[in-house]
Structure 1
Amino acid sequence: MALSNQSNTRNPYLIPFVLITVLFFLWGFAHNLNPILIPHLKKACQLTDLQSAFIDSAFFVGYFVMAIPAGLVMNRYGYKSGIIVGLLIFAGGAFLFYPAAATRTYGLFLMALFIIASGLTFLETAANPYVTVLGDSATSTQRLNLSQSFNGLAASLAPLAGKFFILTDTTISEEQIKSLSPEEVNTLLTHEAESVQIPYIVIGLVVLSVALVLWKTHLPDIKEDSDASTESGNTGSIFQQKNLILGVIAQFFYVGAQVCVSSFFIRFLGKTASISEKEAAGYLSFALLCFMLGRFLGTFLMKYIAPNRLLAVYSVFNIVLLAVAITVGGMPSIYALIGVEFFMSIMFPTIFSLSIQGLGSQTKLGSSLVIMSIVGGAIFPVVMGRISDVSSIQTAYIVPLVCFFVVLFFAIKSKSEKGATISGGH
């Protein structure tokens, strides 16, 4: 692929790269408020672990439902139009949090999250492949990891924002609920729920502002080289692209693992180390800061280590660390989960980049399929929540452990098929 109408300026890609990287920050922030919403709405709406896991399900089902429509919109109207549509949908979902909190209607919260995710689907379907072609194809994986690093920065800031502006110190016990009248209980819980209103109104306004800036800014069009797919033999059905299909499966399991690790992090700290929600949010922020640092380090290491090899090494580390978290308990388990966040850092962009490599004119469709696989984040947390309800939150972390075996398989298989062609910047 190549960019049409390339400028003669020193770096014609700099401004587009910066603006698209802002989108990575926005969806990273939205994603990583979910671990805050899970314990908060669990309390405000009086949910079980299984019921609270549907916060992730509503969110990630949006990706599955909207990925193909997003790809079709991009094909017909271009990436810029698709991005603006996505931002408008994102803002609409954020504003819906206000009536959801006012009525304390869990279903309305889930609808708002579904709408937000639908908007993010447009952003991710566009931004991930767009970044890979804003420069030399040999450094596409590094470039995507750099943009995703700002996604990691947002991920580390979101729990802090949730700690100060959403979570409260209020503890609502079953005994307290029983001692109050239904009207008093509803008033207490509604007041708890309403702490999400202002933060999400602010998010909606920021997103609308970004949409306005992008609407006023010229972004170069992406021109896919149809010859690329012919030269690599990619002229048949996209479902014949074995590496893409393996990548879709790996991304499905990876996103499921990532969401499981982060979404139940606060609950894990409370159950295994008796750490309060607000204090646990601070730990989560630190863990996601490690996630961001892992992205920057991974981008650097890919100058010397092939991306698929680094992916395999990081997968092995996560399998070992999750085994520690499940079997040891206490603070060592917490440190192990923080380590998992660090080693998850490069996985999404690396799997994405490896999956769509060499697709040529099929890149947009391939990108949509990889984005669809994000639905793993809707399924595995529900499984984990059910295991937690019938066993323990610590035992439930076996779910992401199994997922990382699948990621490891893809890293090894990608190596055997791609070999030295996946250079990551050599």
Structure 2
Amino acid sequence: MAGPIASGGRATAAPPGASYGRALGLLASLFFMWGFITVINNTLLPHLRSVFDLNYTQTTLIESVWFIAYFFASIPAAKLIERVGYQKSLVIGLLTMAAGALGMVLAASLPSYGVTLIMLFVIASGITLLQVAANPYVAVIGPSETASSRLNLVQAMNSAGTMLAPLFGAYLILGRSKGGTAATGTVLTEAERLADAQSVILPYVIVAVVLAVLAVVIARFPLPAMGSATSRVAKADRKNHSLWKHRNLVFGVPAIFIYLIAEIGVANLFVNFVSQPEIANLTNEQAGRYLALLWGGMMIGRFAGSAIMQRIRAETVLAVFSIGAFVVMLITVFTTGPIAMWSLILVGLFHSIMFPTIFTLGIKGLGPLTEEGSGLLIMAIAGGALVVVQGWIADAYGLQTSFLLTAACELYILFYAVWGAKVTAPLPDPVAETTH
């Protein structure tokens, strides 16, 4: 796989001691935006469920299409980065997302379930391009020992976006629709569904404009190159090494895949779950506001995790958080009322450090194989597509029971933290050597 860290073979290596503070600050805005746009789906899904009269399987299929994009777009994204460079690829990714957001306006105007799926795929493909470049970039520009701490810190901005998105969606989508403000179980007329479909137009116009402005800013910003000489050496060295000798990567890819099933399942079904009479008996709009607390917990957890990992090994922190997530998911499944709702909110705190920590543990010790390993880990985000399995379980056995799948996912993360993340056959990291 082409390297997401390289600058297309045309940039010069960054000088030793170069400061990446401003670049990281700008990249943090990208983390914010893709988190924001991804989590708009959490309020969009119950909205579309009402507009198109979907069951849980059809509803979660919308999110599955979103994450299938990670599988199909990861390799083309990495190749694009190698061909046109890091900075141009970021601009292309942002403009792709903006085009998809404008496409959502078309989907709402028709309205069309099929066009909605296509446009969400386009937006997710743009996000994939940003992910393939930005995550490994942040991970390798400092000491490898603090990579998890650094990526957790920047990912906290992603969580800030995910925390604000439910409020944005609840107000501009659910709050402006009949289905979003009516009591659970209310049957809408055809005219009401058509009117509700139009409520997504304004939010996605706003999103498209912001993405276009950010693309212009990125295009004009002097981002530091990440060393073309390093990439050429890496390509020669790769022939003598195998990814499959690195246990932390081999078990890290399924860890990312499985974690995404857990995170996306909780987020996408949260509104429907807490709206149930036996849980909190809320309207979808009210439940959307509580969803912001779940994502707020992820933001707090990442800031805290970044500080904790300065003193405690990342593997240990990951193990403790996975145990906490498993416990609160069992409480969610086997209780009712406010206890079930607040336990589901609390899982956001425990999920917070999982993705960035698994990612940095997965590429640890890969040396010249870091680029390929990073690409595989980003591709594993496609695990979010299997949220449709939880939708099927919810239809067959009940929404509350479906969260047992989430609990099972937490156990694999615990296994990875305790055993799977151990580094085997570590290789020297030439990238780190050029950036100190």
The TM-score normalised by the length of structure 2 is: 0.89
1:287 aligns with 2:290: no
Return the alpha-carbon distance in structure 2 between the equivalents of residues 4 and 65 of structure 1.
31
- Residue 339 of structure 1: CA displacement? 1.3
- 1:71–1:365 contact (8 Å) kept in structure 2: no
- Residue 229 of structure 1: CA displacement? 6.7
Match of 2:257 in 1: 252
Return the alpha-carbon distance in structure 1 between the equivalents of residues 379 and 65 of structure 2.
14
Q: 1:136 aligns with which of 127, 136, 143?
A: 143
Match of 2:430 in 1: none
**Aligned AA for 1:156?**
M
- Residue 226 of structure 1: CA displacement? 6.3
Match of 1:330 in 2: 337
- 2:259–2:413 contact (8 Å) kept in structure 1: yes
- Residue 234 of structure 1: CA displacement? 8.6
Q: 1:210 aligns with which of 206, 210, 214?
A: 214
Match of 1:170 in 2: 178
- Residue 358 of structure 1: CA displacement? 2.2
Aligned residue runs from structure 1 range 159-238, under 5 A: 159-168=166-175, 170-171=178-179, 185-223=189-227, 225=230, 235-238=240-243
| Count of matched residue pairs | 412
- Residue 11 of structure 1: CA displacement? 6.1
Return the alpha-carbon distance in structure 1 between the equivalents of residues 371 and 234 of structure 2.
12
Return the alpha-carbon distance in structure 2 between the equivalents of residues 39 and 7 of structure 1.
50
Q: After superposition, give the CA deviation of every residue in 1:118-175 in whole Å (9 maximum; x if it has no partner).
A: 0000000000011112333332221111110000000100000011101036247888
Cα 1:45/1:353, change in 2 over 3 Å: same
Cα 1:234/1:415, change in 2 over 3 Å: farther
**Aligned AA for 2:346?**
G
Aligned residue runs from structure 1 range 76-87, under 5 A: 76-87=83-94
Q: After superposition, give the CA deviation of every residue in 1:302-350 in whole Å (9 maximum; x if it has no partner).
A: 0111111100110011111101100012111111111110010000000
Match of 1:268 in 2: 273
- 2:248–2:422 contact (8 Å) kept in structure 1: no
- 2:365–2:426 contact (8 Å) kept in structure 1: no
- Residue 415 of structure 1: CA displacement? 5.0
Aligned residue runs from structure 1 range 110-129, under 5 A: 110-129=117-136
- 2:365–2:423 contact (8 Å) kept in structure 1: no
1:402 aligns with 2:408: yes
1:42 aligns with 2:49: yes
SS at match of 1:319: helix
- 1:45–1:106 contact (8 Å) kept in structure 2: yes
Match of 2:74 in 1: 67
- 2:57–2:392 contact (8 Å) kept in structure 1: yes
> Among the aligned pairs, what percent are the same residue?
36
- Residue 6 of structure 1: CA displacement? 3.6
Return the alpha-carbon distance in structure 2 between the equivalents of residues 35 and 391 of structure 1.
22
- Residue 233 of structure 1: CA displacement? 9.3
Match of 2:103 in 1: 96
Q: After superposition, give the CA deviation of every residue in 1:223-269 in whole Å (9 maximum; x if it has no partner).
A: 27469979x99932334433212110000000110000111001110
The TM-score normalised by the length of structure 1 is: 0.91
Return the alpha-carbon distance in structure 2 between the equivalents of residues 165 and 142 of structure 1.
35
Gaps of 5+ in 1: 178-184, 422-426
Match of 1:182 in 2: none
- 2:271–2:287 contact (8 Å) kept in structure 1: yes
- Residue 187 of structure 1: CA displacement? 2.8
- 1:254–1:403 contact (8 Å) kept in structure 2: yes
- Residue 77 of structure 1: CA displacement? 2.5
Return the alpha-carbon distance in structure 2 between the equivalents of residues 360 and 219 of structure 1.
23
Runs of 4+ in structure 1 off by over 6 angstroms are 172-175, 226-230, 418-421
Q: After superposition, give the CA deviation of every residue in 1:350-404 in whole Å (9 maximum; x if it has no partner).
A: 011111122223222211111111111011x211111111221110101111111
**Aligned AA for 1:40?**
H
Gaps of 5+ in 2: 428-436
- 1:17–1:134 contact (8 Å) kept in structure 2: no
SS at match of 1:222: coil
